[in-house]
Chains A and B, each alone.
Chain A
Amino acid sequence: MTSSPSSGPNSPDLTQPLTIGNAVNVGFRLYGAKLKPYLRLAAMSTLWVLLPIILAIALGVFYISTQRYLTTLGLVIPAWIVLMAFCSARAYALSAAIARLGYAELTQQPETVDTAYRFTRARQWRFLVASVLLFGLGILVTLGFYLVAAIVVALVFAFVGGTEFLLNPQSAALVNPGLLILAFLVFLGVIGLLIWVLTWFSIRFAIPEVPLAVEPGLTATQSLGRSWELTDKNVGRIFLILLVTWIATIPLQLVIQLVLGLAQEAIARFYPETSPLYSVLTVGSSFLISLLLGIFPLPLWQSIKAVVYYDLRRRREGMGLQLSNPPLDESEFGSADLQDSDPSA
């Protein structure tokens, strides 16, 4: 029995849309095959995230310990915000480069790390703008939902006689217990709905950075539109792909938890729990360590995003569907007498 690179009758080929399991498989394969360059990009991305945080800590220590030069804060804080924006943009560009490399591999037009990063770095501000827009959108959706939910809950409350109860607490005994159970069920339903709505929105906007890293001439706003357009009718599939990927990474997460636990244990050895430094050190170190350990899963998720984008391009836009050798004399017959077909028909 041997492993063979050839394709055979039992081999699902990549010309077909990917199943949920195979999308996850391909993501893992990309991650495993390009581990070194991907991890390097992820590490650089994480360092850019770290830089403003470390600087802020250093500044804080400086101002607290000297208790002087506080007037300079008016200048230092805006400067720090600008720096943080720049660093975030760089971090986004670096992690997006991983997705671009993955996509290039899938379309069988592999790129070098430098080429991919040069492309995304030139668009670094768009990644930042896209993520800021996404953040704002998330807040709007959540607020909007709470507003609707609050109205619904208030109506139900009034319906089961809640106002009377507020005016006259003794009347509680008169309230029908069935209605109370109903109110509780409505409350549970609202919570469930909130989770579903947020998940649904997150999935619809899960991949804007990939089109931004792949399609030339796309703006930040358009990239959100692309994500929305491509993920339509595919929320369930994408949800399962992400869920299965997460399940398959549980062994990796266990290792991460183990390292975190060991670090905390080590700190507890040197600084007893009663010492004032203990809480600062444990919180700070677990934050730092988890950030650094985040380097390992990052390329996997970027690869998965690239696979999802690639698969959606095939499903939703028929990418790759073309005749074997497009004829050269197309103009001869390609006159305009073939009408556009109406897809809604």
Chain B
Amino acid sequence: MRFLNRVNLNTPESVELEFSLAGIGNRALALLIDYHIVALSLVAFSLLWVFLSTRLMAYLSQLGGNYSALPPWLLALFVLGTFVIYAGYFVGFEVYWQGQTPGKRVAKIRVIRDDGRPIGLTQAGLRSLLRPIDDFFFMGALFILFGKREKRIGDWVAGTLVVQENRSRTKPAMTPSDRAQKLGDWLPTQSNLENLHPDDVAVIREYLGRRPDMTRKARHDLSLQLARQVRSRIQLEELPAGLNSDEFLEAVYWAVRRGSDGVTE
């Protein structure tokens, strides 16, 4: 079963790109964050408006004269400001952050054009103007849930897609212990590191990167199991006394990485 929807895009330069679509989960998460920011901004703006308007009216009434025409204008300013915040937030961020808003950044998704190019003011504007329609009775959510390319109405009109960003792989915070470094220098002379398949190295890297999040017992078992398998794979006969399995795995990863960087002597 495929768990994420994917699309292939042909760019104007006839390069084929493949993307994973953002999906309802990432989009809902992004919207949750963005709407909270917008709501907070609107509250702040309203307070500011009330404060400044009352101050202004008080000041003007001290001066004397007829300013009764002013309140409607202040109200108009308020309506305009609200619209600018609501629409401008999405348009501004999507244009200047190349299809991302703060929420989309957190969710690691991005709006792009149907041909893979970054969106411009037109696309961001259309998406933003149609947002209220998509929000009406959650029509946009239904379109995203049931559409093959997960486009809400704004996406159809603007010709855009929302896709996932490339995720960087977990990198172990690699400052191996001195013992591991020494062992890493020594390993290539004693074993056949080239027996390790790149996939195996990736597994070691994943383990080293993710071990702080693991339960004690699982980490203990997995470390020992991986170390034994790796040791057998690289045909290492002798081991320094008292070596623990995590240090051994660090040393192997250290040695392989140094080898591939071409800094071995």
- Which residues of A pack against B, CB within 8 Å? 1-12, 14-17, 19-30, 33, 105-106, 229-230, 232-233, 240, 243-245, 247-248, 250-251, 254, 315-318, 321-324, 326-327, 329-330, 332-334, 337-345
Looking at the complex, which one of B32, B170, B222, B232 makes contact with A318 (CB distance below 8 Å)? B222
Residues of A within 8 A of B1 (CB): 29-30, 33, 105
| B131 interfacial contact with A, CB 8 Å | no
Could you give, for residues 16-53 of chain B, a 1 whenever the CB lies within 8 Å of some chain A CB and a 0 otherwise? 01111011111111111000000000000000000000
In the complex, what distance in Å separates the CA atom of A30 from the CA atom of B122? 36
Q: Which 6 A-B pairs have the closest CB atoms?
A: A24-B25, A21-B26, A8-B18, A25-B23, A341-B246, A317-B218
User: Counting CB contacts under 8 A, is B55 at the interface?
Assistant: no
Knowing A233-B213, A244-B32, A332-B232, the reply to whether A339 touches B25 (Cβ < 8 A) is no
Q: Are B245 and A1 in contact (CB under 8 A)?
A: no
Given contacts A22-B23, A317-B215, contact A1 B8 (CB under 8 A): yes
- A247-B28, A250-B138, A333-B228 given; A28·B200 CB < 8 A: no
What CA separation (Å) do A330 and B235 show in the bound complex?
A: 10
Contact with A along B92-121 (1 / 0, CB 8 A): 000000000000000111000010000000
- The complex places the Cα of A17 from the Cα of B212 at a distance, in Å, of 14
Contact with A along B61-81 (1 / 0, CB 8 A): 000000000000000000000
Which B residues touch A16, using CB under 8 A? 167, 169-170
Which of B23, B218, B220 is A21 in contact with, Cβ under 8 Å?
B23
B190 sits at the interface (CB 8 A): no
- CB neighbours (8 Å) of B228 from chain A are 330, 333-334, 338
Q: B residues near A, CB below 8 A?
A: 1-10, 17-20, 22-32, 107-109, 114, 137-138, 141-142, 145, 148-149, 163-164, 166-167, 169-170, 197, 199-200, 203, 206-207, 210-211, 213-216, 218-220, 222-233, 235-237, 239, 241-248
| A105 partner residues in chain B, CB cutoff 8 A | 1
B32 lies within 8 A of A21 (CB): no
| Inter-chain contact B3/A9, CB cutoff 8 Å | no
B210, B220, B248 — which one has the most chain A CB atoms within 10 A of its CB?
B210
Known interface pairs A4-B6, A17-B210; 14 further A-B residue pairs with C-beta atoms within 8 A, sorted by A's residue number: A1-B8, A9-B18, A11-B4, A14-B3, A21-B30, A25-B4, A28-B24, A30-B3, A244-B28, A248-B25, A321-B206, A321-B210, A337-B243, A341-B246
